[in-house]
Chains A and B, each alone.
Chain A
Amino acid sequence: MSGDVVVSVENLWRQYGELVAVHGLNFELRRGEVLGFLGPNGAGKSSSMQMLAGSLAPSAGRIRIGGVDLLDEPDRAKASMGYLPEQPPVYPELSVREYLRFCARLNAVPRSAVAAAIDRALQRCGLDDVADRLIGNLSKGYQQRVGIAQAIIHEPAVVILDEPTVGLDPIQIREIRNLIRELGRDHSVILSTHILPEVQMLCSRVLIIHQGRMVFSDSMLSLNAGMTADRLVVGAERLPDETRLARLDGVKRIEMLGDGRARLRHDGATDFASRIAKTAVEEDWALFELTPERKTLEQVFVELTSGESAPREDAA
């Protein structure tokens, strides 16, 4: 996961009059990373994405893409970035090939390399069969792919995708996810989404923002490790009562679930489950269930974003 930094964002601010939409955002993205960008509606997510994509000027802070400052040298910085907005930015009257030719030229792909770039993008996004059809006649899923093809046509170091699977059917969603996973091999990807399982599937790092502030930033691996449970569900035909369970070593809280099941909150010791199993055998509980409960990304997300103050509804 180590490597050169492709995107670095330092102390990024964005204000709309009195309202602060983005509050000092800091993060770095390395080569080959897929960064999941999460936040409830109005958290400042789209403002941040727009600033990264160059369509919104920050109030303060720096964005560097491939080491080039986006504000000082926008043209050079944008050349190493591909962006797919929420709505695929396609011209319905053009064919896929014509559209990609325009995008390639727009992104300063040399004239001699355009044809090869188009073929490669078509092939990578599975668009070979529809290359000469009008974009307006394609389904939403294919239009989304055309949007992704546009974002990678100039082989940028970083690809920014804003909610790429919204409005697609389940099969299309799977296809787009596979495509994103593939992109993660050659490009760095920033993926903004509401869909938490998508992040778990695709991303190597997660960043959660809430009310314009970054409240969580960690790699998926350590998130998974951190999510390891301090909770265990025990089910047994002759489950002892609450007072006996409370006397078990390391138990902090007990929640009786009925039908011989109980949820134990414990100190997080790694051998807790095996000790329970041992006790159960010794005392003949007739154990039928022993499930460590992982804290899901969803729980982390909800904990972080629905804290003391309710999410604001203004900020775009």
Chain B
Amino acid sequence: MNTLAMSLVIARKELQSLFLSPLAWIVLAVVQFIMAWIFLLQLDAFPEAQSQYAALQRTPPGVGDLIVAPLFSTASIIMLMVVPLLTMRLIAEEKRSGTMALLRAAPVSTAAIVMGKFFAVAVFLLLLCALLVVMPLSLATGTDLDLGRLLASVIGLFLMMMAFASAGLFMSTLTKHAGVAAVATFGLLLLLWLANAAGGADGVMNWLSLLGHYQAMLRGMFATGDVIYYLVLTTAFLAFSVRRLDAERLQR
């Protein structure tokens, strides 16, 4: 069977395992609770904030600026902490419990294993995104919502989470201990997140920063460069994971 079909077999099992563990449900519940809390706070503060802006500007900022953008901005930080928890066990757990031998002895390529694991997390994160987007979408019943901007924010968030997940997957190939993988992923992501703090307004460090590319999307600016940045990051870490697992067979 080809790589794609096999990776779907693995992804299906991975999702099955994920939803059989309490972790997935807790993550969904806690993230939803926190996001709902923040959403309601923003909504509550909205009339007052807008009237203050109205005194200063002829066109005061709308729900897009005062509710949607801050909501997704917070979401990205929460994901920074949540995604490492979802990816930490992907490979580390298989190594620890000896089930890696099952995958290696099966007629499955390393690429299929890595892709399968990644697809599973991607599906879960898509669900998380969908639950998130329902909240700002509900505003469309009462006001004019800039749907394009909302879409850009959601796609941006999802692309960023893919990059997080792929980095987490790679960290999980490096160790047998899920906790180590989680902390290492968190450290790496935070480093990438804050990369622009070191380098000033422009330059390589600024371009490397996870945050900078996302902020443009929150403003509704969907640039090819930003999309490519996340795709390159995701692909690179997936490739590293494949290389890393292949190298284990060649250990010296």
Binding site for B on A (CB under 8 A): 15-17, 53-57, 74-79, 81-83, 85-94, 98, 102-103, 105-108, 150
B interface majority secondary structure: helix
A-B contact count (CB 8 A): 81
Contact with A89, one of B10, B21, B99, B107 (Cβ below 8 angstroms) = B99
Contact with B9, one of A17, A56, A106 (Cβ below 8 angstroms) = A106
- The complex places the Cα of A32 from the Cα of B109 at a distance, in Å, of 29
Closest CB in chain B relative to A83 CB, distance in Å: 4
B98 within 8 A of A: yes
B55 within 8 A of A: no
Q: Would you call B106 and A78 a contact (CB within 8 A)?
A: yes
Closest CB in chain A relative to B155 CB, distance in Å: 32
Q: Would you call B107 and A55 a contact (CB within 8 A)?
A: no
Binding site for A on B (CB under 8 A): 1, 6, 9-10, 12-13, 16-17, 20-21, 97-109, 249-252
Task: Report the nearest B residue to A98, measured CB to CB.
Answer: B16
Q: Would you call B107 and A103 a contact (CB within 8 A)?
A: no
Contacts of B250 in A (CB 8 A): 57
Known: A87-B98, A107-B107, A108-B107. 6 other contacts (CB 8 A): A54-B105, A75-B109, A91-B17, A94-B20, A106-B108, A150-B102
Contact with A90, one of B6, B99, B105 (Cβ below 8 angstroms) = B99
Contacts of A107 in B (CB 8 A): 106-107
Contacts of B97 in A (CB 8 A): 87, 89, 91-92
- The complex places the Cα of A75 from the Cα of B9 at a distance, in Å, of 16
Task: Report the nearest B residue to A55, measured CB to CB.
Answer: B104
Which of B9, B99, B102 is the most central at the interface, judged by chain A CB atoms within 10 Å of its CB? Answer: B102
- The complex places the Cα of A97 from the Cα of B20 at a distance, in Å, of 15
Q: Would you call B13 and A102 a contact (CB within 8 A)?
A: yes
Contact with B105, one of A55, A76, A93, A98 (Cβ below 8 angstroms) = A55
Contacts of A98 in B (CB 8 A): 16
Contacts of A103 in B (CB 8 A): 102, 106
Contacts of B103 in A (CB 8 A): 106
If the complex has contacts A53-B101, A79-B107, A94-B16, are A106 and B249 also in contact, measured as CB distance less than 8 A?
no
Q: Would you call A55 and B251 a contact (CB within 8 A)?
A: no
